Amino acid sequence: MQVTLTVNGEELTREIEPRLLLVHFLRDTLELTGTHWGCDTSNCGACVVLMDGMPVKSCTVLAAMAGGHEIRTIESMEQDVARHVNELRRAHDRLPLGIDRTLSRVAREYACALARRGTLSHEGPSRQSVGDQVKAAGKPFRMVGENLAWNQNAQNPASSAVNGCMQSPGHRENILQAGFSETGIGICRRGSAYYFTQVFLRPA
């Protein structure tokens, strides 16, 4: 059967199996892996997406039932963070940051590690820093920075995270640092809480 729906602002039509879950449609068909298949019990909330602006657990919704609806995933929220940060940079006469896929992967992985731990820390379990993670991903750099944030039950989680970072001197410095030219953004959801990681880079 065919299904037509709007995902992150783009109208799509795909052939699907009638019993395909929305979470698998997003992850496997559209390769939007920010939506997680987490628990097999529909309790963890890792698979939550917005359908017509309302949160739904995509592991409990058939893709066919999403036909005619608008779906927003974590990837859309990551784009919102990037857009907001670049608007701030332009307002302060800074060049916009380019999105780097490798940095985005590093950021997403770390955001999900933070979500599993339920806390913010600039050091991983093995005390690795953001520089260590970026080097391990094969990205040489002259300068690197990292912003972390989290919020819960925020009406606009992306804007709330960026606005909160602008209130922190160190995080604000990263956002407005003229020397950075690339960024990667990762967001992971745990229950009703969102964990944000943004990596900033000046390549070598």
Q: What is the pLDDT of residues 59-117, one digit of tens each?
A: 999 999 999 999 999 899 999 999 999 999 999 999 999 999 999 999 999 999 999 89
If 0-12 CB within 10 Å is exposed, 13-18 middle and 19+ buried, where does residue 204 land? exposed
Residue 47: per-residue pLDDT: 84
Secondary structure (H, E, C), 8-56: CCEEEEEECCCCCEHHHHHHHHCCCCCCCCCCCCCCCCCCEEEECCEEE
Residue 42: per-residue pLDDT: 62
Instruction: Provide, rounded to the nearest whole percent, the portion of the chain with pLDDT above 90.
Output: 74
pLDDT at 38 over 70: no
Confidence of residue 186 (pLDDT cuts 50, 70, 90): very high
Q: What is the mean pLDDT of the chain?
A: 92
Higher pLDDT, 156 or 196: 196
Give the predicted TM-score (pTM) of the model.
0.84
pLDDT at 25 over 80: yes
pLDDT at 43 over 70: no
Residue 196: per-residue pLDDT: 97
